[in-house]
Amino acid sequence: MREFEAGFDQGVDSFLQVYPQYIEQVRPELNGLFREEDYPAAEKLRTKFGLKLEVLPIPTGADFRVQMSAEEQARASREIDANVRESLIRGTEDLWKQLREVVTHMVDRLNEPESRFHGSLVTNVLDLVDILPRLNVNGDADLNRFADQIKQRLCNYSAQDLKKHDLLRVTTAADAANIVAQMDDVLRDREAAGGPTADDIFTRMSAYMEAPAAA
């Protein structure tokens, strides 16, 4: 495992060493579409890579806990529960981040009428909000509510429609900016309140696992 971790770290280092060269390579290719802010600094990018070993239960007769003392089993159980909680919380946070980023990108592009609008400006948003409820294993009601609101308010027109019609573009940009502001308000309120408890998380997870699959 240590050798694998060392190899992973080495791979990250190797990529970051040539990362500036990749940026310079695409600069002339994108011509006037190149934006420096689209490429984070190498040190910031480094924080996006990580490797963590987690101990999870093995549901078989050869379960490793059979050979443990009661104290060791209790410790392993606590670690497993903590890892599951952390994974669920981290997964929900990632969904919020993805949803906010894709809507913020739409705001930025729509506020630049001279920029080129690709079809993905709308389809990327639609693809995410369509799949998000299935990824939301925590059953976060606010997250599902925003996904539905975004689909209803921002995904009714194609990128070409938004490019052609100034009024449509401006009103959609305003709607998108308003949604981002509402999301930020919810996230700030949650941070101030301390977020959901571990019991809340496991209750929602159990309800998700017991719910019948969508047709």
What pLDDT sits at residue 199? 54
Helix (H, G, I), strand (E, B) or coil at 185: helix
Cα separation of 24 and 186, whole Å? 39
What pLDDT sits at residue 215? 44
The amino acid that residue 135 corresponds to is: L
Cα separation of 86 and 109, whole Å? 34
Residue found by looking up tokens 């060392």 in the block: 6
Residue found by looking up tokens 């890579």 in the block: 49
What pLDDT sits at residue 30? 76
What pLDDT sits at residue 178? 96
Cα separation of 210 and 215, whole Å? 15
What pLDDT sits at residue 67? 62
Cα separation of 68 and 66, whole Å? 6
What pLDDT sits at residue 60? 46
pLDDT along the chain (215 residues), means of 10: 79 89 83 81 86 63 58 73 75 90 92 79 92 87 94 92 90 95 91 63 53 50
Neighbours of 126 (CB within 10 A): 16
What pLDDT sits at residue 85? 72
What pLDDT sits at residue 99? 93
Contact residues for 184 (Cβ-Cβ < 8 A; gap 6+): 100
